[in-house]
Amino acid sequence: MGNSKFGRFILVGAVLGGIISLCDRSTRRHVKGKTGNMVYQAKYYSKNPDVLKEKLQQQKDKYMSIYEQLSGDAAYIKTQVQELKALTPQVKELVVDTKEAFVESKEEYKEIVNEQKVGAEAKKI
């Protein structure tokens, strides 16, 4: 593995790809602008570390608030799932009881209808 040229060839390919991409004028301008901006920011923050520290603190506070909100949402969802798990057997029992009540009512209605038919036929005779 020590004699592998794979890593070197990947590095050479990346460098060659970068050089070839810089043949395009708009790419050169874009890279030059980004590099100039980075150099300017590096100089500015090296002279003003307090500004960098404040900016990093603001980013940290922002991400912490997002994390806390997501944690709260996750805890709420977890609680709701647990409640749903607890309610599921009760709901199942309620549905079964309701079904049984409807089946019994259906049988009673059939008996009533049959009695009325028999009574109506008896009146005809």
pLDDT, tens only, 9-29: 999 999 999 999 999 999 999
Average pLDDT for the chain: 86
Domain boundaries in the chain?
1-47
| Residue 117 or residue 83, greater confidence | 83
Examine the pLDDT at 69 and tell me if it is beyond 90.
yes
Determine how many CB atoms are found less than 10 A away from the CB of residue 45: 14
Q: Which of 22, 16, 53 is nearest to 35 (CA)?
A: 22
| Residue 79 or residue 102, greater confidence | 79
Whole-number Cα distances in Å, 35 to 19, 21, 27, 49: 15, 16, 12, 20
Please tell me the distance from the alpha carbon of residue 76 to that of residue 86, in angstroms, as a whole number.
15
The answer to whether 21 touches 27, Cβ cutoff 8 Å, is yes
Residue 93: pLDDT band (50, 70, 90) is confident
